[in-house]
Structure 1
Amino acid sequence: MPRITRRALFGTAAGLVLATPALAAFPDRPLRIISGYAPGGLNDIVSRAMAQALTPILGQNVVVENRAGAAGAVGATAAARATPDGHTLWMGIVDTQAIIPTAYRNVQYDPDKDFAPISLVAHFPFGIVVGPSQPGIKDFDQLIAAAKAAPGKFSFASWGIASTSHLAMERVLRAKGVEMLHVPFTSQAPGMQAIMASQVDCMALPAGGAETMIRDGRTRCLAVIAPEQLELIPGVPTVREKGIDLASGLWKAIYAPAKTPPEILAKINAAVRQAMQAPSFIEVVRQQGAKPQPSTPQELAELGRTERAAWGEVVKATGAYVT
């Protein structure tokens, strides 16, 4: 049995005493959640709902800072370089944590080394919408038939090259032998606006955004890339019902910069899990076709590794590399 000296014992006790005030003081000022996308899109909506729910729990204002660019890589880099004291959080998504590191040649952050995982937030299924530029297309089969008859004439939007929006749509089109022009935007909201303005024909985007777009009747959701039909958009078939074995969506999760003290990470994890039980947060997520899915940091870390390997294969197959 190892010998415990008085110096070691009192050294450990002193460390605990010193650590306690630091933890008790956290947070001692407002916090920020960095979102890698422009205001108005799903990441912004969920980030603001989380900030609102966290504010009374942590006893400090929590604000959202939008840092759009490079399909989320600009915001991820800023979050990775933030002071690791718990006052900066990062709303990461599958794009930033799993796809960009495999698709971009000059990534300025490492998803494993530069971030401390806190908790998964939710998985958001995708819907495929067609806009007013194609008023005659009423269902998924008509879209595929029209696109096959005119290769390259149709276009689809995404929130960036090698984003989930881009790659999910590419997988659908490739499965049907269809070619379309890809038009990337900096985030979800500009892509949706381009659809409504008839600048682009269609887009794969989270179901909540699809449901919002179809309310005026000019935009239609033709299919959902989900395991089953969604209550949020009733009656819309899955792509599996159309012969494509695919279920794809967008997961979001909370991270902190690496080297954030473990005791602070634990406190944030508890606060985030509590925030996801807030009725206001649950309702926001429900409106996007999903449910809150809290996790442990270990579960989130494993999800990132698994998804990075899976999406890396898609990037390789499609050649969607970014220099």
Structure 2
Amino acid sequence: MTISRRLLLGAAATLPLAAPALAAFPEQPVRVVVPWNPGGLADILMRALGPGMGRLLGQPVVIENRAGANGAVGTQVVARSPADGHTLILGNAETHVINPLIYPKLTYNPATEFTPVTTFASGPFVLITRPGLGAETLEAFLAMVRRQPGKITFASWGIGSTSHLAMEALIKQAKLEMLHVPFTGAAPAATALIAGQVDCMFLNAGPAEAAAKDGKSKILGVGSRTRIPQLPNTPTMVELGLPVDAANWFGLLGPAGLPAPVAARIAAVVGDALKADQVQEVFRAQAALPVTQTPAEMQSFLAVDRERWGGVVKDLDIRLE
């Protein structure tokens, strides 16, 4: 009886802290910083999700692009923002897992300076070649690269990005020599590929499918363990004998100290906004899979992802100043 009374008193003592935090949120528009250029997959998905979130929250959701340093510039802005739920970061494996592994002088600590809220999407990459390259299969592409060591170029949306590391993993497995051409975002990298300025890249499946519809660009393989509905006839890299794990996730995080009731409410709002037909349509067009997690589930997911990418970065020995 005494123990139950103490538990009840302890639970009641938390209510004055939690209730005002939730009652006061949101008091103003919610800003979501997208730390990449407009037009990339992260930007497209967030702009599809934002209006529905705004209606459910009763305040507009404002998207702000802050590109630079593989997402580090915009991420740092949010780390220094008030932890009241009105400023969030659109994070992914690059901002919250890979950057601290490759940038020794990173100005934020993703493990301690952020509160996980929820993931909302995941999606595989595909290996795509520029128009006119002349390689119709992965086998033909690998043979071409081996005939011209160091001459075939590949694009990425930044040094140390998931697109960069996926290609480096392929290069290592297949014992290739290629030239890396980094860009400041997925959209300019894809534009360069379609224009024939670079030879190939790992690109998000949705934009790659659109780029290959005219038959000029060629998708050689999917970087997931199973085939995807948008490209049912395209084999995976695993099927082709090169088990390259090429995919990314997207989610929302707030600054450290974000009240748990606020984080939980935002996660619930994201989950409800994902159900809208127009949001589902955009996600399907981009070959992105809707995903919902509680803040606690996202925290556990991040720990697993850090271990996975940590092994890749260690194997490749990538360090940037």
Per the TM alignment, residue 133 of structure 1 is displaced from its structure 2 partner at its CA by 5.2
Deviation at residue 53 of structure 1 after TM alignment: 1.9
The one-letter code matched in structure 2 to 1:291 is L
Structure 2 CA distance for aligned equivalents of residues 220 and 75 of structure 1 = 33
Separation (CA, whole Å) in 2 of partners of 1:34 and 1:190 = 19
Rounded to whole Å, the distance in 1 between the matches of 2:38 and 2:22 is 33
Q: Distance in 2 between matches of 1:313 and 1:20?
A: 42
**C-alpha distance in structure 2 between counterparts of 1:301 and 1:295, whole Å:** 9
SS at match of 1:241: coil
SS at match of 1:105: coil
For 2:210 and 2:306, how far apart are their aligned partners in 1? 30
**Matched residue of 1:252: which SS?**
strand
Contact conserved, 2:57 with 2:269, CA < 8 A, in 1? yes
Q: Which amino acid in structure 2 is aligned with residue 139 of structure 1?
A: T
Corresponding residue for 2:249? 251
Match of 1:62 in 2: 61
Q: Give the alignment of 1:1-323 within 5 angstroms.
A: 1=2, 16=15, 20-132=19-131, 134=133, 136-323=134-321
> How far off is 1:148 after superposition?
0.4
TM-score (normalised: structure 2)? 0.93
How far is 1:246 from its partner? 2.9
SS at match of 1:304: helix
Return the letter of the residue paired with 1:142.
A
Identity %: 42
Q: Could you tell me how far 1:19 is from its partner in structure 2?
A: 5.3
**Contact 2:121–2:251 at 8 Å: present in 1 too?**
yes
Structure 1 CA distance for aligned equivalents of residues 22 and 120 of structure 2: 24
Corresponding residue SS for 2:226: coil
Question: Given the superposition, is the C-alpha separation of residues 154 and 18 from structure 1 closer, same or farther in structure 2, using an over 3 Å criterion?
Answer: closer
Give the superposition deviation at 1:142: 1.2
* CA distance in structure 2 between the partners assigned to 1:290 and 1:69 by the alignment: 24
User: For residues 3 and 218 of structure 2, what CA distance do their matches in structure 1 show?
Assistant: 70
CA-CA distance at 1:157 after TM superposition: 0.4
Secondary structure at 2:313's aligned position in 1?
Answer: helix
TM-score by length of 1: 0.92
Q: Report the CA distance between 1:16 and its aligned residue.
A: 4.1
1:129 aligns to what SS in structure 2? strand
**TM-aligned CA deviation for residue 21 of structure 1:** 4.5
Using the TM superposition, give the Cα deviation of residue 321 of structure 1 relative to its aligned residue in structure 2, in angstroms: 1.3
Q: Is the 8 A contact 1:55 1:62 kept in 2?
A: yes
* Aligned-partner Cα distance in 2 for 1:69–1:173: 26
CA contact (8 A) 1:103 1:312 kept: no
Shift of 1:185: 0.9
Q: CA deviation at 1:217?
A: 2.6
1:2-45 deviation digits (Å, cap 9, x = unpaired)? 7989xxx7xx67x7457544422311111111111100000101
Could you tell me whether the CA contact under 8 Å between 2:118 and 2:252 is conserved in 1? yes
Is the Cα contact below 8 Å between 1:282 and 1:291 reproduced in 2? Answer: no
Q: Is the 8 A contact 1:53 1:280 kept in 2?
A: no
CA apart distance, 1:272:
1.4
CA separation of 1:137 and 1:3: change in aligned 2, threshold 3 A: closer
Asked if the contact 2:264/2:294 (under 8 Å) is kept, the reply is no
Counting matched residue pairs gives: 319
Question: 1:178-222, CA deviations, whole angstroms, 9 ceiling, x for partnerless residues?
Answer: 111011111101101111221110000110121121123321111
Deviation at 1:124, TM superposition (A): 0.6
One-letter identity of the residue aligned with 2:131 = P
Q: Residue 189 of structure 1 aligns to which amino acid in structure 2?
A: A
Deviation at 1:170, TM superposition (A): 1.1
Task: Tell me if the contact between 2:163 and 2:246 (Cα under 8 Å) persists in the aligned partners.
Answer: no
SS at match of 1:254: strand
